[in-house]
Amino acid sequence: MSGTFTKAMARNIFYGGAVFFFLLLVALTFDTMGGLPKSDNRANLTESVLRGKHIWETRNCIGCHTLLGEGAYFAPELGNVYPRRGAEFIKAWIKSQPTGTPGRRQMPNFNFTEQELDDIVAFLKYTSEINTQKWPPNIEG
């Protein structure tokens, strides 16, 4: 770095650049929030879905599964499990865990009530209807 490029110049570019791009991020965030109603499936954000999300969080399902590709990579993607398996399969599956198959990855039993199972399914259905730009590539997630 030559003598003509001084520390003061470097500093000014830093502050200018940081502020500018942060404000740009904020502006884009506002724009995104404005556009979300078209893609985030909020029309179907029912009480049951909200309860389902709460159950999803308080059981730490994300610690084994991905949801829309984010989370852990130990167990299947669940963002599209609703179209993949359907409501009845999902409920029956959760109730019948763990499989106990020796050596196979295990999912705990959470002793859910029928109501709670319906809420989880509602949450997974809502999630599967978010517009994700056609991700995942196929039904296997």
Long-range contacts of 55-62 (CB under 8 A, 24+ apart): 55/112, 55/116, 55/119, 55/120, 55/123, 56/120, 56/123, 59/110
**Shortest Å, Cβ 116 to ligand HEM:** 25
CA dist 16 and 14 (Å) reads 5
| Interface with ligand HEC, residue 51, by CB under 6 A | no
Residue among 22, 74, 93, 135 that touches ligand HEM (CB under 6 A): 74
In order, the DSSP letters of 17-35 are HHHHHHHHHHHHHHHHHHH
**Shortest Å, Cβ 108 to ligand HEM:** 16
Rounded to 10 degrees, the C-alpha dihedral 82/85/91/95 comes to -130
The smaller minimum CB distance to ligand HEM, of residues 5 and 74, is found at: 74
Structure tokens that stand for 5 in this block:
């490029």
| Interface with ligand HEC, residue 83, by CB under 6 A | no
Q: What's the burial of 70, exposed, middle or buried (CB within 10 Å: 0-12/13-18/19+)?
A: exposed
| Interface with ligand HEC, residue 7, by CB under 6 A | no
The smaller minimum CB distance to ligand HEC, of residues 94 and 122, is found at: 94
| Interface with ligand HEM, residue 70, by CB under 6 A | yes
The smaller minimum CB distance to ligand HEC, of residues 12 and 60, is found at: 60
**Shortest Å, Cβ 2 to ligand HEM:** 28
Count residues contacting ligand HEC (CB under 6 A)?
Answer: 22
The smaller minimum CB distance to ligand HEM, of residues 46 and 131, is found at: 131
